[in-house]
């Protein structure tokens, strides 16, 4: 039985992951989805609907800004860039993630 990254375990981390990718440079949905799959060694594929939900959530929260690319060929792409607000949100998300990991591991350990 192989280990799994279930949807309940990924929950609450998708925003952080997307922000983290955009922090490396502007990108668009399809590319991010592919990168996530690659960089996780196929362990996790973000669902398209989830990804676009994340974009909408982050955009609403002014963590990212979207703009249409001027593709001369291929399908049109909607790029996103991370804002300063998004950068500090990313930082906070990572801190929360590290904190949560520690607490959960502590609860599993037994010792305080």
Partner DNA sequence: CACATTACTTTGACACACAAAGTAGTGTGT
Partner DNA sequence: ACACACTACTTTGTGTGTCAAAGTAATGTG
Q: Give the binding site for DNA (CB under 7 A).
A: 7-8, 10-15, 28-31, 46-55, 57, 73-79
According to DSSP, residue 61 is labeled T
For the bound state, the minimum distance from the C-beta of residue 19 to a second copy, rounded and expressed in Å, comes to 10
Order of all β-strands in the sheet with 27-28: 27-28, 78-82, 64-68
Nearest alpha-carbon partner for 92 in 16, 17, 14 = 16
Task: Give CA separation, 104 vs 7, 10, 56, 109, in Å.
Answer: 18, 15, 30, 9
Nearer to a second copy by Cβ, of 16 and 64: the residue is: 16
Nearer to a second copy by Cβ, of 49 and 107: the residue is: 107
Using CB under 8 A, list all residues that contact a second copy. Answer: 1, 3-13, 16-17, 20, 24, 36, 38-41, 43-44, 92, 94-101, 103-104, 106-108, 110, 112
């Amino acid at each position: 039985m192989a280990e799994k990254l279930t949807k309940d375990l990924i929950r609450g981390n998708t925003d952080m992951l997307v922000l983290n990718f955009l922090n490396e440079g502007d990108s668009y949905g399809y590319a991010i989805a592919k990168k996530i799959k690659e960089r996780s060694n196929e362990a996790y594929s973000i669902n398209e609907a989830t990804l676009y939900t994340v974009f909408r959530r982050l955009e609403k929260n002014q963590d990212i800004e979207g703009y249409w690319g001027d593709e001369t060929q291929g399908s049109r792409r909607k790029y996103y860039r991370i804002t300063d607000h998004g950068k500090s949100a990313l930082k906070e998300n990572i801190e929360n993630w590290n904190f949560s990991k520690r607490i959960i591991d502590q609860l599993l350990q037994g010792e305080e």
